[in-house]
């Protein structure tokens, strides 16, 4: 073969012309498998990142693909100095780095070099991090007494409210107690299905977390939620009360739930979790697989069909804490991660070992447990208590 590139030189165009192309069925299968490489949340974040970048390109007259390192540096520098109405920077260095990763990924998928890997871009990001070096914002943990206070206010309010509020109370109580006892992230809570929770007559609940932030290959893990001593804070009782609402809605809809919750109560005065056999619900019916466990509850009492969003969990925790009398300053530091942080902090304060804590949390690094201990349980096993001050 002789071309303008010289004899026997095969160009990419020649290869594309003569290489057999996969059939449509294989192409579709490859696309589906690539989609599975990242979680739904990760994929949604990447699409949002790419949308931010392409909108900037259109406003500045650039082409999104392919981009030069100088173009990416311009984009990052311009975004790094944007500020909010209150004077704070609009985007954290971690957000800027994530944008670069997404841009690199899109370039790689399109067959172009990754512009964000150029040393000039990496130096720019390092400079931004040093210039904006601040301690990472961490969620304040909700300890057992905090959860008990929130539950008390929730149930007192629900007792005199309508049945729609009582449905929301049951869902939120189950979410708070299962999240705390299981050390679950908000993404793990919202992804739970009915089939993921299996009652055990002696141990309580076996909860399968099919995939998590640190489990990209979806090997999964099982956490055990025990029966609580106090029915007011028993995770299994809370789960059973919410499942009663969930199953009633799916069986009979709005009228059935309204009838179930017609009379108010301030939570379980006695345990309602004992003797719940595996494979059954509170009403004795068989669970139906992939139903989302935690679903939206509309102010009218209607239950949504899909799963609750992570942002909804975050908002619910702040709203419930505010109603329970927590200060605005404290409420602003709470979120979905406050339940997982609360488990670790409460366990450290209770004398649990790092290894037993990691059994429930799934942490692979002991330093993460030590971090919670230093920040929220600093006097545990600390020689400063022996100074006699």
* Last residue of one domain, picked from the residues 80, 98, 131: 131
- Residues 315, 258 within the same domain: yes
- Residue 1: inside a domain, yes or no? no
pLDDT at 1: 47
pTM recorded for the entire structure: 0.69
pLDDT at 305: 87
- Residue 13: inside a domain, yes or no? no
Beta-sheet strands, E only, within the chain: 2-3, 6-7, 197-200, 204-209, 221-225
Residue 105 sits in which domain range? 22-131
Pairing of the two strands 6-7 and 204-209? unpaired
Give the 3-state secondary structure of residue 221: strand
What's the number of domains the chain is made of? 2
- Residues 186, 253 within the same domain: yes
- Residues 152, 250 within the same domain: yes
- Tell me the C-alpha distance between 62 and 46, whole Å: 20
CA angle 278, 347, 268 (to 5 degrees): 50
pLDDT at 351: 87
Task: Tell me which residues of the chain have a pLDDT lower than 70.
Answer: 1-22, 24-40, 134-137, 212-218, 266-267, 275-289, 375-376
pLDDT at 190: 93
- Tell me the C-alpha distance between 211 and 240, whole Å: 24
* Last residue of one domain, picked from the residues 100, 131, 162: 131
pLDDT at 238: 95
CB atoms within 10 A of CB 35: 10
- Residue 15: inside a domain, yes or no? no
- Residues 125, 157 within the same domain: no
Give the 3-state secondary structure of residue 297: strand
Instruction: List the one residue out of 239, 231, 291 whose CA is nearest residue 266.
Output: 231
Q: DSSP states of 253-285 as a string? A: HHHHHHHHTSS--SS-SS---TT--TT--TTSP
* Last residue of one domain, picked from the residues 131, 165, 195: 131
* CA distance readout (Å), 110 to 20, 168, 252, 315: 19, 46, 50, 38
CATH of the domain at 180: 1.10.443.10
- Residues 67, 164 within the same domain: no
């Amino acid at each position: 073969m002789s071309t303008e590139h010289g004899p026997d030189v095969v160009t990419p165009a020649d290869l594309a012309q003569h290489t057999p192309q996969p059939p449509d069925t294989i192409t579709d299968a490859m696309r589906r498998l690539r989609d599975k490489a990242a979680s739904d949340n990760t994929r949604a974040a990447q699409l949002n990142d790419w949308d931010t970048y392409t909108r900037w390109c259109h406003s500045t007259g650039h082409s999104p693909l392919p981009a030069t390192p100088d173009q990416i540096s311009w984009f990052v520098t311009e975004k790094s100095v944007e500020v909010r109405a209150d004077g704070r920077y609009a985007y954290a260095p971690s957000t800027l780095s994530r944008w670069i990763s997404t841009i690199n990924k899109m370039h790689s998928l399109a067959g172009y070099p990754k512009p964000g890997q150029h040393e000039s871009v990496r130096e720019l990001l390092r400079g931004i991090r040093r210039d904006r070096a601040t301690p990472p914002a961490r969620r304040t943990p909700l300890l057992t007494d905090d959860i008990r206070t929130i539950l008390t206010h929730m149930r007192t309010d629900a007792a005199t409210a309508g049945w729609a509020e009582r449905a929301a109370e049951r869902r939120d109580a189950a979410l708070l107690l299962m999240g705390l006892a299981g050390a679950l992230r908000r993404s793990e809570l919202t992804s739970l299905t009915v089939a993921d929770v299996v009652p055990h007559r002696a141990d309580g609940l076996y909860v399968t977390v099919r995939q998590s932030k640190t489990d990209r290959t979806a090997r999964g893990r099982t956490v055990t939620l025990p029966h609580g001593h106090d029915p007011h804070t028993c995770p299994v009782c809370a789960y059973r009360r919410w499942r009663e609402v969930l199953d009633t809605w799916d069986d009979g809809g709005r009228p059935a739930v309204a009838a179930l919750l017609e009379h108010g109560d301030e939570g379980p005065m006695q345990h309602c979790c004992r003797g719940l056999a595996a494979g059954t619900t509170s009403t004795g019916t068989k669970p139906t697989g992939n139903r989302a466990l935690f679903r939206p509850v509309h102010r009218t009492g209607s239950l949504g069909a899909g799963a609750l969003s992570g942002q909804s969990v975050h908002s619910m925790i702040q709203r419930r804490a505010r109603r329970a009398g927590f200060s605005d300053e404290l409420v602003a530091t709470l979120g979905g991660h406050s339940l997982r942080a609360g488990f670790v902090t409460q366990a450290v304060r209770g004398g649990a070992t790092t290894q037993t804590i990691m059994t429930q949390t799934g942490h692979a690094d002991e330093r993460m447990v030590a971090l919670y201990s230093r920040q929220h349980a600093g006097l545990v096993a600390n020689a400063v208590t022996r100074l006699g001050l």
